[in-house]
Chain A
């Protein structure tokens, strides 16, 4: 009896021993591991698509980047009761790690870069049936890496360039902004080579050669590389990529009814199919939150609104018929909107301040009376009108002021405005006067479209106290602006503290 028991015990013991050691190899039944991934064309395709999903993150084009580009500029401001949020639109930077104002945009930029780098590192090892498809995928990754580094360069200037897939212990080296621009140029030139001239209808929204040239033009212009910029822009205007035009109806640039139209050079595709958050959850949204944050009080959070000088700027010049510039109607909500154009504000009579205005572009009052977190209106990041005005600017900088007029006139004509020469004969061929006028033209055409901050930087308007003082007349937040400091954001302090290869800007 005893023997049997002991044998049983020993046997049981051995049984458990051998069986349970095998049980220690557990794989997650929920997800595929990274080393199992990046094997097929569809892996590559979904991988490059994930870069597009970064547009839906709150640090970037779903939400907070508009606070940096639109509200920090003199076009907008924040009157949010959330003081810290508002402070970050008026150069009161105290906590450099403030998530919504700084760190999340920084993090999401690098999150997007990480996705680009994963594609660039892994896709070359995947066998494709058609080598061209592979090239297109890699070219998209390069385009987006350039796009995100471009905006990071605008915001923080001297940043680390991460060009390989991240690992937890990375300590990337900070680069001067000129090196950042060089990398952006390199990626865009390489992307241009392999991107198609256009995509089939079901792929609309992916960048094409024109989009690459447009961003090349932007990065050249920020460096005042006018000749290179001219070359890039000509590709879209007169060169092989000249497939663009202005839509007849100005408002078609800001609603979901005529998306990816002939004026669109690069457009962020938003939708409202998924009602999740801006994170990585199962139902992660594909929408923009901008209108929820920028809509008037009682309709949205109203964390951002437009400066009232914009209203006056539109009213300086009547159109050919002696009426108000119709672009005002679709650019802003303002007290006179009903009287001037017969539009209510989200179905309401004006119930806000007499000197208050809000951004209207991209809002959805054309079919609803409120906003939410699921705005589906595509964001036209670069449209042809911008390209034309840029071309005019480049020609002016290159000494061809006379040649620049026609491009401004194209944009003005769409809005039934007189030609520039007729409306402003005093400019003539004066470079400075032309540029000054062009600055206004860009506001009238592009206000609230996230180009103002880079424009101010490019024009050097943030470089002298005198020009900042002038801006402060329009936007008193610029009284807080310190020349030589606030043209760029402080780098999130956590990264500075934990990366010996990264220094905070000396001024901060």
Chain B
């Protein structure tokens, strides 16, 4: 790996040399030459500040020391500006040295927000848009952008996990549809997904468009919100080189499980209680499966970037190598990526490109070791030469379990995914007039995907048939092309400020794959390893398919600002999608929003309140987030049948999967009311939003009746109406006192989800232990209720319904008493009731940071309150009717130990272990220190002679403190099933991560 890195550095060096030739030099005119230094109020130099001669286009940019040099006429005036500082003007007055001191801009409202096909100043926003500092994400050790957003933005919920290459799920403002909650990502104008192929270090800005009016310009794809990412650009000035290295170690949280001695006691008890002969346990073995499978993970993240620019062109290049050795044996992820962003202008014409190339490779986790480690009993040895393949696993009468040996699976079943991706765009702009701009953008993304699976011979579970060696490979290619034509009109008429955008876009997506499988792959006698190619083996199966989709859109936006007091914004988008039938292809999606900047009213005079803005918006968004050909029915001709005396194969073909031909756009209608307030010289800022998001005609494949005989997935229908109402609050304070600066912010999100109605004439939908019923939130817990334990036979005999019928005559003292909710004298599925919600009542984030001289500190806490979750771990280890390891220290009911809530353990009955009761529901509240970090910038006096402009050391940790009562591995788990969001069934936990980083720039 080290050599790989050196290679990258070498390649980098040549590129750097090449590009340095391109950097243009500036030529000044023969007037007087002025030099000077631009510094902040505290005396720190401000690099990259703009120095422009008033009423001209001529200017210069300060260097790292804040120094500039410019040639101007002696009577001209210089304008000094830099983002985050107030702009000042200084007349030259024949001076050859003009120093400028810029005051920090307390308003902090001049931040530019990219809103899609344009940008706005933050103060002019009328919709709900959040801005995330890229630095906050880059501080953390994350694989994808999504991981880094947790806790930073109101209304944005992130759930990830620590598997190498695992991609986190994002949910913006609740569950608005039932397909996919992930938002639309727009990276440099390319509509895409910010998956693990994307290097988060390249990010310059992130904005999260949350409400319909903000996201409306992206129309049909924006219903889940939009995350707009721009990548770093070069800046005018000398070449700047930045390098960083960050290394982290990661560790798994652990279950507290029994060793052999304790295990044997309870296992025997379970058999005794069932009246079964005890197992002949292997007491000589005491395997700690967690020790065998979990390991300390390692993440290395290397970044180098070079940027620069001249008068008319800028460039930015970066290279990244990211390597993550997993915390579970046999897992690994690595990524190598390069980026080149460049732009240039000549006259009214400008052109630019952003392109990233990446290759990422994942050694995928096979099976689920998170579950295996507790399904395997400590009496099973890791290795057992008597088994095919040599690994230990269950044995009837000795260790009766179908638990799978995770080491064996990691050895015998190996899957590798590799993706080579090119993503980028080329744009050009024509400034037809000072008020009219035409822009053409061509976005392109392609990915070459390769999947390789090798099944070696060997067993991992009891009674498993001996499978032959199998190789399964596929090669796929995805391609997305995006064409966008936009015209931008921007003009001021007195106090009226008008911006109009019209445009037209077309996107085409294509994915094709070929695959092949063969069996009985031999071992190469030369290497002793299995062949990894499809040339070998027998029984070939090959196949391939192509999926295509296209989307055509027209869009228009009007922004109107009257006197910086009244803001108005309207968007109309018309989308046509290939995913719907002819009569339903097109949908129109309008939105309007308005803002009132109260503090700019003449009647409003307050020294205390610096900023006050009220916002309101309403918008409709369409969504067509479904498979490519869902509205059509197809004939499956894969099957064959055997017939005839020769027992030969004959073709078979039929419709297997049903479909709805009348699918139409899913429609999200969202209303947003917002308030922005800044007081105490804007040191204290408060933002509040209230929203109602109602999604109609939700596209979803609800289970249809089994009697339809449908197979191959539930047909999509416009099934339901879902409503989310929520409040988002953010309070932020920042203050600078001399050399000490301090900031803190608290964000609060509360979302109430409700299923308004379920289509298809259905009233409810049960998935696992959840009930989705009109009028209540999606996926409520729907289970039997436990009511303590029977202490003796009399209690069982007396547990009767109103008619005197003994409700649980088969129970034994120590068994769970279930509530007979419908009073029919027996415990059946009819006794299930809604007992809890998997939805948190609210979620919070706390961010705080401080800086003093070269030191800085920051931390992020997240908290979730009110969710009830299903502990899949406990539903396995506490059941006892199916052998597994058990939680250390449990005290089950026995006649001698009646004062416990843990029922009698028995191998013979599923009564106590039934998974559809509230026994395994737990409080999912938690508070977590998501991130804590310290940084130190080496003082200039040390660096002076080294030629290094900046050097920084960082030390940080993630997920190191978690306060929770949850008994599973990690309360911040994710479950991709929308109805079973609260079920923790072997989810890969978030890892404790300790990182050390070094950053240089020169």
Q: Which residues of A contact B (CB under 8 A)?
A: 2, 5-6, 9, 12-13, 16-17, 20-21, 23-35, 37, 43, 45-47, 49-53, 56, 81-84, 87, 92, 94-96, 103, 106-107, 110-115, 118, 160, 162, 165-172, 201-206, 259-260, 269-271, 273-276, 279-284, 286, 292, 297-298, 300-302, 370-373, 376, 492-495, 497-499, 502, 508
Question: Which of A107, A162, A170, A259 is in CB contact (< 8 Å) with B711?
Answer: A107
Instruction: Let me know if B406 is at the binding interface, CB within 8 A.
Output: no
Distance A5 CA – B644 CA, assembled complex (angstroms):
72
> Can you report 21 residue pairs joining A to B where beta carbons are below 8 Å apart?
A6-B432, A20-B483, A21-B552, A21-B576, A23-B508, A27-B629, A34-B634, A92-B910, A107-B709, A166-B709, A169-B761, A204-B643, A271-B647, A271-B649, A274-B649, A280-B656, A282-B543, A301-B465, A493-B766, A494-B705, A508-B828
Instruction: Let me know if B504 is at the binding interface, CB within 8 A.
Output: yes
Counting from the closest, the 10 A-B pairs by CB-CB distance are: A114-B709, A50-B654, A271-B642, A111-B709, A110-B709, A20-B506, A46-B653, A166-B708, A34-B633, A31-B634
Contact of A46 with B651 in the complex, beta carbons under 8 Å: yes
Contact of A499 with B707 in the complex, beta carbons under 8 Å: yes
Contact of B577 with A46 in the complex, beta carbons under 8 Å: no
Question: Which of B543, B634, B656, B715 is in CB contact (< 8 Å) with A28?
Answer: B634
Contact of B485 with A12 in the complex, beta carbons under 8 Å: yes
Distance A494 CA – B782 CA, assembled complex (angstroms):
14
What residues of A have a CB within 8 angstroms of the CB of B704 in the complex? 168-170, 498
What residues of B have a CB within 8 angstroms of the CB of A297 in the complex? 396, 463
Contact of A205 with B653 in the complex, beta carbons under 8 Å: no
Instruction: Map CB proximity to A onto B713-757 as digits: 1 under 8 Å, 0 otherwise.
Output: 001010000000000000000000000000000000000000000
What residues of B have a CB within 8 angstroms of the CB of A6 in the complex? 432
Known contacts A280-B711, A498-B705; is-contact A16 B504 (Cβ 8 Å): yes
Distance A471 CA – B540 CA, assembled complex (angstroms):
50
Contact of A168 with B628 in the complex, beta carbons under 8 Å: no
What residues of B have a CB within 8 angstroms of the CB of A301 in the complex? 463, 465
Instruction: Let me know if B144 is at the binding interface, CB within 8 A.
Output: no
Residue among B707, B764, B766 facing the most chain A CB atoms (10 A cut-off):
B707
Additional A-B contacts beyond A12-B440, A112-B709 (7; CB < 8 A): A20-B552, A46-B652, A50-B654, A52-B643, A205-B644, A275-B541, A297-B396
Question: Which of B539, B640, B651 is in CB contact (< 8 Å) with A286?
Answer: B640
Contact of B651 with A168 in the complex, beta carbons under 8 Å: no
Contact of B708 with A168 in the complex, beta carbons under 8 Å: yes
What residues of A have a CB within 8 angstroms of the CB of B647 in the complex? 259, 269, 271, 376
Taking residues whose C-beta sits less than 8 angstroms from the other chain, chain B's interface range is: 35 or more
Q: How far is the CB of A121 from chain B (nearest CB, A)?
A: 11
Chain A residue nearest in CB terms to B650: A49
Contact of B710 with A166 in the complex, beta carbons under 8 Å: yes
Contact of A275 with B705 in the complex, beta carbons under 8 Å: no
Distance A502 CA – B762 CA, assembled complex (angstroms):
13
Question: Which of B552, B650, B717, B760 is in CB contact (< 8 Å) with A23?
Answer: B552
Instruction: Let me know if B362 is at the binding interface, CB within 8 A.
Output: no
What residues of A have a CB within 8 angstroms of the CB of B643 in the complex? 52, 202-206, 269
What residues of A have a CB within 8 angstroms of the CB of B465 in the complex? 292, 300-301, 370-373
What residues of A have a CB within 8 angstroms of the CB of B705 in the complex? 170-172, 494-495, 498-499
Residue among A33, A167, A269, A498 facing the most chain B CB atoms (10 A cut-off):
A498
Instruction: Let me know if B492 is at the binding interface, CB within 8 A.
Output: no
Question: Which of B438, B551, B635, B639 is in CB contact (< 8 Å) with A284?
Answer: B639
Q: How far is the CB of A41 from chain B (nearest CB, A)?
A: 13
Contact of B578 with A286 in the complex, beta carbons under 8 Å: no
Contact of B658 with A9 in the complex, beta carbons under 8 Å: no
Known contacts A16-B485, A81-B883, A201-B644; is-contact A34 B655 (Cβ 8 Å): yes
Q: How far is the CB of A143 from chain B (nearest CB, A)?
A: 15
Distance A103 CA – B707 CA, assembled complex (angstroms):
10
Known contacts A23-B552, A28-B632, A206-B643; is-contact A84 B910 (Cβ 8 Å): yes
What residues of B have a CB within 8 angstroms of the CB of A274 in the complex? 640, 649
Instruction: Let me know if B645 is at the binding interface, CB within 8 A.
Output: yes
Distance A53 CA – B637 CA, assembled complex (angstroms):
11
Q: How far is the CB of B563 from chain A (nearest CB, A)?
A: 32
Distance A261 CA – B654 CA, assembled complex (angstroms):
30
Chain B residue nearest in CB terms to A57: B711
Instruction: Let me know if B545 is at the binding interface, CB within 8 A.
Output: yes
Contact of B715 with A113 in the complex, beta carbons under 8 Å: no
Q: Which residues of B contact A (CB under 8 A)?
A: 394, 396, 400-402, 430, 432, 438, 440, 462-463, 465-467, 483, 485, 487, 504, 506, 508, 517, 519, 539, 541, 543, 545-552, 576-578, 582, 585, 628-629, 632-656, 658-660, 703-712, 715, 717, 760-762, 764-766, 828-829, 881-883, 910, 914, 916
Contact of B508 with A31 in the complex, beta carbons under 8 Å: no
Distance A274 CA – B658 CA, assembled complex (angstroms):
26
Contact of A53 with B640 in the complex, beta carbons under 8 Å: yes
Distance A65 CA – B401 CA, assembled complex (angstroms):
24
Question: Which of B467, B552, B652 is in CB contact (< 8 Å) with A49?
Answer: B652
What residues of B have a CB within 8 angstroms of the CB of A273 in the complex? 640, 642, 649
Contact of B632 with A201 in the complex, beta carbons under 8 Å: no
What residues of A have a CB within 8 angstroms of the CB of B539 in the complex? 275
Contact of B709 with A53 in the complex, beta carbons under 8 Å: no
Contact of B578 with A26 in the complex, beta carbons under 8 Å: yes
Distance A271 CA – B764 CA, assembled complex (angstroms):
43
Distance A502 CA – B710 CA, assembled complex (angstroms):
18
Contact of A83 with B910 in the complex, beta carbons under 8 Å: yes
Contact of A23 with B638 in the complex, beta carbons under 8 Å: no
What residues of B have a CB within 8 angstroms of the CB of A81 in the complex? 394, 396, 400-402, 462, 882-883
What residues of B have a CB within 8 angstroms of the CB of A275 in the complex? 519, 539, 541
Contact of A370 with B466 in the complex, beta carbons under 8 Å: yes
Contact of A286 with B828 in the complex, beta carbons under 8 Å: no
Known contacts A21-B576, A495-B706; is-contact A34 B635 (Cβ 8 Å): yes
Contact of B706 with A494 in the complex, beta carbons under 8 Å: yes
What residues of A have a CB within 8 angstroms of the CB of B401 in the complex? 81
Q: How far is the CB of B503 from chain A (nearest CB, A)?
A: 9
Contact of B642 with A37 in the complex, beta carbons under 8 Å: no
Contact of B550 with A26 in the complex, beta carbons under 8 Å: yes
Q: How far is the CB of A229 from chain B (nearest CB, A)?
A: 29
Distance A276 CA – B639 CA, assembled complex (angstroms):
10
What residues of B have a CB within 8 angstroms of the CB of A26 in the complex? 548-550, 578, 628-629
What residues of A have a CB within 8 angstroms of the CB of B396 in the complex? 81, 297, 302
Chain A residue nearest in CB terms to B659: A168
Residue among B519, B653, B882 facing the most chain A CB atoms (10 A cut-off):
B653
Q: How far is the CB of A258 from chain B (nearest CB, A)?
A: 11
Contact of A47 with B910 in the complex, beta carbons under 8 Å: no
Contact of A5 with B432 in the complex, beta carbons under 8 Å: yes
Q: How far is the CB of B576 from chain A (nearest CB, A)?
A: 5
Contact of B707 with A495 in the complex, beta carbons under 8 Å: yes
Distance A56 CA – B875 CA, assembled complex (angstroms):
34
Chain A residue nearest in CB terms to B400: A81
Distance A202 CA – B650 CA, assembled complex (angstroms):
10
What residues of A have a CB within 8 angstroms of the CB of B438 in the complex? 5, 9
What residues of B have a CB within 8 angstroms of the CB of A282 in the complex? 541, 543, 638
Q: How far is the CB of A374 from chain B (nearest CB, A)?
A: 10
What residues of A have a CB within 8 angstroms of the CB of B766 in the complex? 493-494, 497
What residues of A have a CB within 8 angstroms of the CB of B641 in the complex? 49-50, 52-53, 56, 269, 286
Contact of A28 with B638 in the complex, beta carbons under 8 Å: no
Q: How far is the CB of B664 from chain A (nearest CB, A)?
A: 15
What residues of A have a CB within 8 angstroms of the CB of B543 in the complex? 282
Q: How far is the CB of B588 from chain A (nearest CB, A)?
A: 15
What residues of B have a CB within 8 angstroms of the CB of A2 in the complex? 432
What residues of A have a CB within 8 angstroms of the CB of B652 in the complex? 46, 49-50, 52-53
Contact of A280 with B636 in the complex, beta carbons under 8 Å: yes
Question: Which of A25, A171, A205, A493 is in CB contact (< 8 Å) with B642?
Answer: A205
Question: Which of B466, B764, B829 is in CB contact (< 8 Å) with A96?
Answer: B829
Q: How far is the CB of A316 from chain B (nearest CB, A)?
A: 30
What residues of A have a CB within 8 angstroms of the CB of B715 in the complex? 168
Contact of B550 with A13 in the complex, beta carbons under 8 Å: no
What residues of B have a CB within 8 angstroms of the CB of A82 in the complex? 402, 882
